[in-house]
Amino acid sequence: MLAATAQVSDHPMTRAPKIVPIRPVQPAPVRATRCSACSMRTICMPPELSVDDLAKLDSIICSTRSVKRGETLYRSGDAFQSIYAVRAGSFKTVVMHRDGREHVTGFQIAGESLGLDGVCAGHQNCDAIALEDSVVCIIPFAQLEVLCHEMKPMQHHIYQMMSGEIVRESSQMMLLGTMTAEQRVATFLLNLSRRFKARGFSAAEFHLRMTREEIGCYLGMKLETVSRMFSKFQRERLVHANGKTIRIVDAEALARV
């Protein structure tokens, strides 16, 4: 019986079809908009770059990556190879405590960078997660280092970015260590207002892509406390909140807080 079965299965009409494994198709790199023609250039790059300097940048910043809402651009522990400039959308950076709790370390919007913390140890120190459908420009750091030796304005700009990270972390420590809940939320809203204004958007009205819970995680506060502060500012006519849309009614009074 075994021999007969084997003989039948070898017949051309009864032989089982060969199964070819299906491999996922890797998306081809998307050509980035040239730095020289990008509307975010005045935010991302130093203003004194020459036409030749911009052409050199165009040669290394040659691809972008789309990241859907909730997807991760990179994870803690990933090998550091590139830094990223947020071309569109927004991100949050997150570190995980040993007990599994999540701590939000920052929110990045269009024109800001991601991944610089990986320079120190050669690997990423946090997760970068898209708060909405976003696009980043990929900047290979090894090539950028070589370019910085030829372009002093670019080298100075990288130093400024790294210094900015130090200042941001120092400000975050002061915010968490010395400010009241009311002051933390006021500082957070005014900071976002300034950043949106620098990008040509309204400083008075903007849409929060992060949740109240994520804001609380960033400010070291409970969700209920964040909601209570928004309600307080609304009663005092400092801010008008309609869902995630925020309108700053009295910026001077909010600054006095």
Same domain, 169 and 184: no
Residue 68 structural domain? 30-176
pLDDT single digits (tens) 94-152 = 998 888 788 999 999 998 999 998 998 899 999 999 999 999 999 999 999 999 888 89
Same domain, 167 and 105: yes
Same domain, 202 and 108: no
93 closest CA partner among 122, 119, 113? 113
What is the pTM assigned to this prediction?
A: 0.81
Identify the pLDDT of residue 33.
62
Total domain count for the chain? 2
Instruction: Indicate the residue among 115, 141, 176 that finishes a domain.
Output: 176
Instruction: Indicate the residue among 176, 203, 227 that finishes a domain.
Output: 176
Beta strands in 12-81 (DSSP E): 30-31, 63-67, 72-74
Q: What is the CATH number of the domain that holds 188?
A: 1.10.10.10
Same domain, 160 and 172: yes
With a cut of 70, list the residues of the chain below it in pLDDT: 1-33, 36
Residue 204 lies in a domain: yes
Same domain, 207 and 236: yes
Distances (CA, A) of 92 to 74, 85, 107, 129, 150: 11, 14, 4, 5, 33
CA 53 – CA 144 distance, rounded (Å): 12
